[in-house]
Chain A
């Protein structure tokens, strides 16, 4: 019964979404205020209805209602409760419902908290947002109904894909969707601004928080996915340039560009048309991402729902969105006049370079991801584009980004002087080069990856400290004054320092783990010991057992360093009998300076030797630590005073303000 009510609520939500897509837009065009005001309650209503539908589906999953098809296909009575809940979106239909839920949530958020928004802009933005929600709700209702019943209902379900039974992957999709959909809000504001023909600082101030939020969520979502691959897929890789990974990476790159260009719109009233274009691109790439994952045109490790009808439907949404918004852009953008003047060497210039490089990097990922498809379409040739291509084609642009980042950060608005900036940064450059030199010397002239990578990371991180120094007037200001200024720095500045520094940490981790990883693959028998980069690994034994919904073989290892026990490690091989799928659970001893990573392989058919894979991964955790710091930077920036200033001003209004 609840399931049917859920289905009914979703159908109603579709009707509400259509209403919300049309009425406020017409009202805004005609200047009818009451039609425009209808947008906010409709948005809240739509959210409540979809929220109910989603809750009904979660209820079906938690209570294990196997008469619901997707519950029977993706759950099982043995599954722990957490994965019953996450099973709701661990399948195609449920994950699309989650997407629509977040679309409606953001619409409702704008409706509820956007009181200071101009009525016309708000009506139009909510209307566009509702068009997207209506399209995806129709997609669910017509091609991917999560509320399908099975008759007769099976006694037990088919189990959730064991790879998805993991806390990291349980929360990975919601974060990505928060990111994708956050960009849909930005897109809605961009299209609304195009219709209105007005982009100003107030618009940018509304759009930047949404961009920041979307970027933070994508950062967390991508980092979670990468971390999951690191510990779950079994050989310690953390990025595979897989189409599905690229699908989330492209919007992240463009969102990164967008949140920088929105600063120029807000502070300098320039780059308007470009910022609008980026907003359109960022959401279009999110749609491309959803298309890649959902249609399965690019087969990949994680695609778990392939169906041509669905692919065509999403392609249609994608086509209408891109063609519609770009047409509108071509028509209205030329009217947008940028005011702010600037010299090429200036903060604006630096931000344009940032935008160019990030956009080009996204273009490289885009061509690489779609090239196999395009080649096959054009001349039928089958080619593969994998990690070695991306490493070669993508990295140079990131190197340029890194080189330019501290310089651009220190340039003043309007007109800058590189000489003066270098006068501040020279010691950071010298220290970074020295570090690179020392590393190169120590490893006796092998690959350049480690020295160059570490020097670049040091340049980024030291550059942040130089910038902090510059902002608080060091070295000229007295320590007291400097400290006072440090405390009073706007949170947006702290956000920038954290995000840029976090990027440096990630670069350092990537360079170190790529260049210095030690690998050992061997046959070992229980009782044996061997050395791995200064650590002594002792293989104690192997035991069998049973988990909640799987069987396992567990290796027991003790790791020593200089005769002392460093870690006891227990890698597992698991078998999930319902789906008959084996998985490996690596044992990882995490540390700030290195991870020890152990994988138990197969037992030899004769004798009692096992294949054991051991890795020493220097600074591996810095990759995700950096991502976390970047995300925190985004959140800190999100709490900046200027985004709260509207509320503060309202509260302050009754009190008389003393004349200055």
Chain B
């Protein structure tokens, strides 16, 4: 029973982690909150659904379609809702307004296209059940876990081994110094949005596979949880977001299984506040200061 719940918590937590890494990457380079990131995640889920329904591609192709759709939307948002504000002085509150606006637009466009209700997300994988001794998992859960692990390893290699990854880390260390050293900061920011949003899109498809239903408003809750996880892990810390996501997923599943299921979200945010009291800069302190 405990092992089973732990496994479920890890599945849920890995999708939280993917969304939170997106937040933390963007926060790292820009020190800003991206309140439409939840909607980017939602768009990825719907794009993946289209790939599954219309073109009868398998889940892997759905994943790639969702990833690309989210990355495109995310980069578009940087060009429309962040870059113009950055050019006109560095207001740190205006991007919150523009991303709330962009989020409303994305929600309504998706509602008009797919309806406001829950749309079923078909998956042949969830009908296959494997018994692994003490725990039983569905095919889609194995898929979710392997995709999450592969994605996080790929992200680790990206930020440590590639030119753009290293440039991204340099930019998040100090934007001005990175620019002086010859890094094209605007390109790095655009790439960061692409990577962060692609992770969100992957998470969208995975959530669709896990819960078998998606809606245009699913991004709101995921967005809030993603921000909480970013805070738990420490602002700007990729590995903190991974650990924080798993922690939140496990706490949620455990509170449903052993405590009061309807208070799940209260436990989730209670955990966040507790961690903030004990470690005001999150589990993995990054030294990023938010003096403003």
* Chain A complexes with chain B: no
Residues in chain B within 8 A of chain A (CB atoms): none
